[in-house]
Structure 1
Amino acid sequence: MRIVFMGTPEFAVPSLKAVAAAYDVTLVVTRPDAVRSRGKKLEPSPVKACAVELGLPVLEAKRMDAAAVDAVRAAQPDLICVVAFGCILPDELLAVAPLGAINVHGSLLPRWRGAAPIQRAILAGDERTGISIMRVAHDLDAGAWCRQVATPIGTKTAGQLFDELAQAGAPELVAAAAQIADGSVTWHEQDPSQVTFAEKVKKGEMRLDPADACDVNALRVQASTDAAPARCQVAGRGVRVVLATVADVNAPQIGTGEVLAAHGRVLLGCVDGALELLRVKPDGKREMDASAWAQGLHGANGAPWERA
C-alpha cells in the first residue's frame, strides 16, 4: 500500500517509523524548517529529520495550497496518514487518496477535539485519556473513529502523556491502515452530545494563583509544557514550576499567598491548603530540585507568592 505521511512534531515520529516499516511511504509532508530552540538557527521538524534518516522524499509546506496538493497527488497514495501536521487540510486533498485520510488524535473522541487534547484532559481532571484513529473530515476532528486505546492519567505529566500516546498511536495507525485496505474496518460515528473542544492553552491560564485551590494549581503544573509553562513569583522572583503536588495533611500550615521554605521543602499557601514544589526552574537558571532551590530562599518564609 502506498502512503503519504503528513506530520511535524516529535509526537508524529513513532507513527512515521511504524508506517514506513509496514508500507510504501511515497512522500512525507511536513512544516518548513523553523527556529525551534533557543538558538537562532533554522532546524528541521522532527518528522523531516526522521524522514531524511529513513531515506524518504520530503515536501515542506506552510499550507496545503494547490501546488502542495498536486505534489501529494503525484505521489499516488492509496491512503494519507496524518499525525499532528499543523494546519487545516482542504477537502481537495482528502479526495486525492482512494482510501481517504486518517489521523492519530490524542484523545478518546468525541471528548477533546482540537489543538490541545492532552493538556485539556489533565486540566479538567479527567481520569483517563488515549488515542483515536479517525477519518479526517471537513470539520475539525469530527470524523468517525475506528480504533481507540485508553490510558489512565493519574499523576503523569503532559510530557509523559505525549510520549506514551505517541508510542501507542503508532501500531494503531498501522493496524487501522491494514483494516481499511482489506475492508474489515469498523467506523464509529461521534456522539454530538458528548463533544468537548480542546482549545490551545494560553500562557495566562497556566499562571499559578494563591486564590485558587491546591488541586487546581497542581493540575496546571501537571499540564505544563514549554509553550505554556506553569509559573509564579516567589518572594518577588519568577520561577517555572516543573513538578509539584498537593501537600499532605501533615505539612505545616501556612496562610494563603505565603511561602514556607524549610527542611528542604518549599510550600506555597493556597486558599485551601498548600502546594508543595518538587522541581523548579528559576528565571535565568537551570532546572533543579525544589530542595536545592530552597537553600537559596533565605528570608522567604512568610513572604508572598503570586501570579507571575
Structure 2
Amino acid sequence: MRLVFAGTPAAAVPTLRRLATSHDIAAVVTRPDAPLGRRRVLTPSPVAQAAVELGLPVIKTARLDEAATAEISALQVELGVIVAYGGLVREPLLSAPTAGWINLHFSLLPAWRGAAPVQRALIAGDRVLGASVFQLVAELDAGDVFAMREIDVPETATAGEALEALALDGAELTADVVSAVADGTARAVPQQGEPTFAAKLTLADGLLYWDQPLDAVFARFRGVTPEPGAHTTVAGQPLKVLEAAPATDAESLPPGRLRGTKTALHIGTGTGALAVTRVQPAGKGAMNAVDWWRGLRGGDELVAGS
C-alpha cells in the first residue's frame, strides 16, 4: 500500500522500519527537533532519524494544522498509520487517505486510552499489558479494533522496558493489519468494556510515597521509569531513584527510613523495604546508591520524604 506514517518517539521506530520493508511510504510525519541534554541541543526525533536512514521524506510539524493537512493530503495515500505521534488527527485529514488512519496503541483497549497507557497501567498494578491496532476516529482512542495482542513482561520491568517489548510486538501486529487492509480482509470490532484513561505523566507523578505499601511504591517506580523519573527528598535535597526492586529478607524499617547494606540502600515503606541500587543526587551524575549513602551525615537517622 501507499502509506503515510506519523510517529515521534523510539517506540514508533520498529513499526516504521517494519512497514518500510513491504509498503510504499510516501512520507513520515513527526514532531519538530527538540532540545535535549544539558546543552539543549536541537535533536531530531527517533522517528525522524530512522526515516532519514531509510531514505524517506520527512514532514516535521508540531500540529497537524491546515498547512500540514494540505501537504499530507497531496500525497494521495491509501492509508495513514500513526504510532505515538503526539498530536491529534482531525477532519479533513482524518478522511484524506482512502482507508483512513489506523493507530497502534500500547494498551488493551478500551483500557488506558490516552498519552501514557503503559506507565499508567504499571502504576495501577496491572499484571497484563498489550497493544491494539484500531481505526482512528475523532474521539480519543475510541475506534473499532482490528487486532489486539497481550504480552508477558517481567514483574520487575519498568515502563521503558515494557514499552520496548510492546513496540516490537506492536510492529508485527500493525504490519499484519496493514496487509489485511491491503487485501480487503481486515475486520474491526467495537471496543468492549468500560474505558479507563491514561493522562500524560508529570514530574509530580514520579514522587514516591513511602507510607504506601511496598507493592504500590514499586509499581509507581516501574511506571515512571525512565520518564519522568522516580524521586524523593533526603535531608531536604531532591534525589532521583534510578534502579530499585523490593528488598528480600530485609530488616523491618519505618516508612521512609534509610539503611545501607553492602549491596543496596534500603528504604522503608508501609509494608516492607525497597532496595535502591542506583540514584542521582541534585546537580550530580548517577551513582551507586550505597556509595551515595555512605557520604551522608546522619546515616540511619535520615528519612526520605514524600
Shift of 1:36: 2.9
> CA 1:263 to 1:297, structure 2 compared with 1: closer, same or farther past 3 Å?
farther
Give the Cα–Cα distance (whole angstroms) in 1 for the partners of residues 250 and 82 of structure 2: 48
Shift of 1:254: 1.9
User: Relative to structure 2, which stretch is displaced further, 289-298 or 109-118?
Assistant: 289-298
Question: What is the match of residue 274 of structure 1?
Answer: 273
In the alignment, structure 1 residue 63 sits paired with structure 2 residue 70: no
In the alignment, structure 1 residue 22 sits paired with structure 2 residue 26: no
Give the Cα–Cα distance (whole angstroms) in 2 for the partners of residues 56 and 264 of structure 1: 48
In the alignment, structure 1 residue 9 sits paired with structure 2 residue 6: no
Matched AA of 1:272: T
Question: What is the match of residue 160 of structure 1?
Answer: 161
Give the Cα–Cα distance (whole angstroms) in 1 for the partners of residues 128 and 55 of structure 2: 37
Question: What is the match of residue 136 of structure 2?
Answer: 136
Given that residues 206 and 220 in structure 1 are in contact (C-alpha distance below 8 angstroms), is that contact kept between their aligned partners in structure 2?
A: yes
Shift of 1:298: 5.2
Given that residues 122 and 222 in structure 2 are in contact (C-alpha distance below 8 angstroms), is that contact kept between their aligned partners in structure 1?
A: yes
Q: Secondary structure at the match of 1:185?
A: coil
Given that residues 26 and 75 in structure 1 are in contact (C-alpha distance below 8 angstroms), is that contact kept between their aligned partners in structure 2?
A: yes
Q: Secondary structure at the match of 1:231?
A: strand
Give the Cα–Cα distance (whole angstroms) in 2 for the partners of residues 48 and 35 of structure 1: 14
Given that residues 265 and 277 in structure 1 are in contact (C-alpha distance below 8 angstroms), is that contact kept between their aligned partners in structure 2?
A: yes
**Residues 189-268 of structure 1 mapped to structure 2, 5 A cutoff:** 189-191=190-192, 193-248=193-248, 250-268=249-267
Question: What is the match of residue 121 of structure 2?
Answer: 121
Superposed CA offset, 1:189-244 (max 9, x none): 112x3211111122212211222222211111111235421101234442111222
Q: Secondary structure at the match of 2:35?
A: coil
Of all paired residues, the percent bearing the same amino acid is 38
Question: What is the match of residue 286 of structure 2?
Answer: 287
Matched AA of 1:45: S
**Residues 171-190 of structure 1 mapped to structure 2, 5 A cutoff:** 171-190=172-191
Q: Secondary structure at the match of 2:191?
A: coil
Give the Cα–Cα distance (whole angstroms) in 2 for the partners of residues 275 and 255 of structure 1: 12
Give the Cα–Cα distance (whole angstroms) in 1 for the partners of residues 255 and 49 of structure 2: 48
Give the Cα–Cα distance (whole angstroms) in 2 for the partners of residues 67 and 284 of structure 1: 42
Q: CA RMSD in A?
A: 1.6
Shift of 1:185: 1.3
For normalisation by structure 1, the TM-score amounts to: 0.94
Give the Cα–Cα distance (whole angstroms) in 2 for the partners of residues 68 and 263 of structure 1: 57
Superposed CA offset, 1:147-177 (max 9, x none): 1221124211111011111111112111111
For normalisation by structure 2, the TM-score amounts to: 0.94
Give the Cα–Cα distance (whole angstroms) in 1 for the partners of residues 203 and 34 of structure 2: 21
Question: What is the match of residue 36 of structure 2?
Answer: 36
Give the Cα–Cα distance (whole angstroms) in 1 for the partners of residues 84 and 38 of structure 2: 22
Q: Secondary structure at the match of 1:201?
A: coil
Instruction: Structure 1: give runs of 5+ residues left out of the alignment.
Output: none
Give the count of matched residue pairs. 305
Give the Cα–Cα distance (whole angstroms) in 1 for the partners of residues 146 and 74 of structure 2: 28
> CA 1:214 to 1:23, structure 2 compared with 1: closer, same or farther past 3 Å?
same
Question: What is the match of residue 48 of structure 2?
Answer: 48
> CA 1:188 to 1:37, structure 2 compared with 1: closer, same or farther past 3 Å?
farther
Give the Cα–Cα distance (whole angstroms) in 2 for the partners of residues 262 and 70 of structure 1: 61
Given that residues 118 and 159 in structure 2 are in contact (C-alpha distance below 8 angstroms), is that contact kept between their aligned partners in structure 1?
A: yes
Instruction: Structure 2: give runs of 5+ residues left out of the alignment.
Output: none
